[in-house]
Every structure is written in C-alpha cells, then in structure tokens.
Copies of this chain bind each other. A is one copy, B any other.
C-alpha cells in the first residue's frame, strides 16, 4: 500500500479553510493560515503542512488557542514593533506582523518586531520570503516547544528554534535559508522510526542524555517527558560543534522570547492553556546601504560563485539555500503528496466538524 497520496492543492485549500471557518476563525485568517500550511506542503516540508491541522483544531476546540487572532501593538517606533498575539493563531500573527514590518521598512529602511503570546507559526521561511516581493531582505525567527537539549544536558529546555533569512536576487532563485538549530527536527526521527532504521548518534539522546541510535525509544521518551531529546546542530560533543548549535538556539530564544517579554526556554507550553510562543520578524531595505539593483546583481554573482565552485569527488551539484524547496514547490504547484495517515486524520476532522473531505 502506498504511504502517501497525491491530492489537489485547491481541494486541500478549500477543506482546510472550511475547517478553520467552522471553528470560528474569520475567513481572512483561515485563508492566511491555510496558505502557510500549504506552502510548507508544496515546498516538501510536510511536517509543517496540513499534518499540523489536527493539533491546531485540538487547540481551538480545547480553548488553548483563540480562533479570533487580535494583535495588539504594545509599543512601536518608526523601526520597531512589540506585539501581543493574544494567544491567537501563529500564522495570522506572523503574516500580519510581517506586513507591518514591511510597511515600516519601506518608509524607514528597516524594521524589527517581536511578537509574544502567540502559537506555532508553521515554516519560518514563509514570513522571511514575504519581504522578497518588495526586494527587501526578510528575517524570521521563532522559539518553540522545548525538545532540544543544551550541550551536556539531558533535559529539553530549548526549542528547535529556526532561523530563516531571505535575500532577493536578479535572475537566480532568491536565497532562502530556513533551518532548525537542532541537527534535525523531530519529524525526521519519525520518518526513520517508520522505516525501522537506526538514527545517526548525533541526532538525539536517550533518557540519560547519552547519544543513541534507538529512535523508537527517543520518541517515546520525548512524548512522555522521560528525559533526553534532540541534539543541537553539531550533535552531542564540543568537538563536533554542539555548543554552536546550542548557542544559536539560545540566540533565537533571546531575540524572540526574552526580547518580547514573553515565554522562553522551558516556560513555553508550560501553561497548558496558552503556549506562549514568540517570534522575531524583520526586514532590511538594501537601499539604505547600496541599491536594490546592485544588491540583487551581487546576489546573483555570489550564488554563481557558490554553485560553480568545484565539486567534491562523487558529487555533481552544489545547492543554494532554498533551491531544493523552490524546485519542489514548482513541481507541486497543483498537486501535493500527503501521507495517508495525515489524510485519515483530516477525514476524521471533516466528519467531526461536518466539513466535506473530498480526497
């Protein structure tokens, strides 16, 4: 039996929007949230696509996330915004905040926003990429549920805290870095678990904090908070740079959680009625330094240097950040491949809410 099925994007879009509106999410917000989820699926990042719907629906139904996202600007200057998302939907908070950031950047050259009291906002790259249409650099960081260990720790007190930056180009695809600061996200462990394959020992630890290849045990420990978790980029030893991944993860949490006055570290999701996720969003207009045109031309040149540099033995291609995802999104313009398990979950949601699930 096939593990996944090709489904029309339009069909998934209508279903997902209908699910959200049925739960009381305003139509505009339902469209925003759905678009962020489907962008992830189209880019091949299925862990952050409609697979998340079940969790979001659960949060709204259990009053852990409010369907009506009301952003409050708590403080602002010409180049900054402090926003409370009032425990609304992370995608709506991310999208609307990034639009405000872009507006201020067009006027004043750059802008940074911190957002507190939010929820999971999907792929960080969605928001950094919003800046590209105006030829701006976009930046998007978020803290997240504690799943990652500090170097030498066995207690997950940091999130996978991703870093995304998007830079416009002239003829090349934009440069879009979008990376968790752990070696791999939890979703990757789940893939190996389904295949019955041991994981490399730099990905996660057992409940005592010892690097392990036993993926089923790691996932069980994480689910039941028995100890252990994901290792930072660089694995478990300083020799391999574990302290760097750990430092980057902490940096993301400082800019998102600490700087917004919201939740950080193990405080996130510790209040069962409000996750408290925080984001850091920014944009920079190249015009305040050189010109947009010069910047984009130089980006093409930089990308050319990287791509055309000599390949290692046995390799025939050097990739640019975002390249694989752009290719995937292009292939999956109309149809995306969704795991059958996720489709089953969505059908159940549809049945429960009385929303037709024609897939």
The answer on a CB contact under 8 Å between B82 and A289 is yes
The answer to whether B150 and A254 touch across the interface, beta carbons within 8 angstroms, is no
The count of identical subunits is 2
A67: chain B residues at CB < 8 Å are none
A314-328 CB mask vs B (1 if < 8 Å, else 0) is 010111110000000
* Residue pair A318, B234 in contact (C-beta under 8 Å): no
Give the residue name and chain of the B residue nearest to A240 (CB): B202
The answer on a CB contact under 8 Å between A112 and B114 is no
C-beta contact mask, A49-84 vs B, less than 8 Å → 1, else 0?
000000000000000000000000001011110100
Residues of B within 8 A of A1 (CB): none
A interface secondary structure, majority:
mixed
Pick the contact of A244 from B165, B179, B254 — CB < 8 Å? B179
- Say whether A183 contacts B234, CB under 8 Å: yes
When distances are taken between beta carbons in the complex, the residues of chain B under 8 Å from A266 are 305, 309
The answer to whether A264 has its CB under 8 Å from any CB of chain B is yes
Residues of A that sit less than 8 Å from B by CB: 75, 77-80, 82, 108-110, 112, 114, 137, 149-155, 157-158, 163, 165, 167, 175, 177, 179, 183-184, 200, 202, 205, 208-210, 227, 233-236, 239-241, 243-248, 250-251, 253-254, 257-261, 264-267, 284, 286, 288-290, 294-295, 298-299, 302, 305-306, 309-313, 315, 317-321
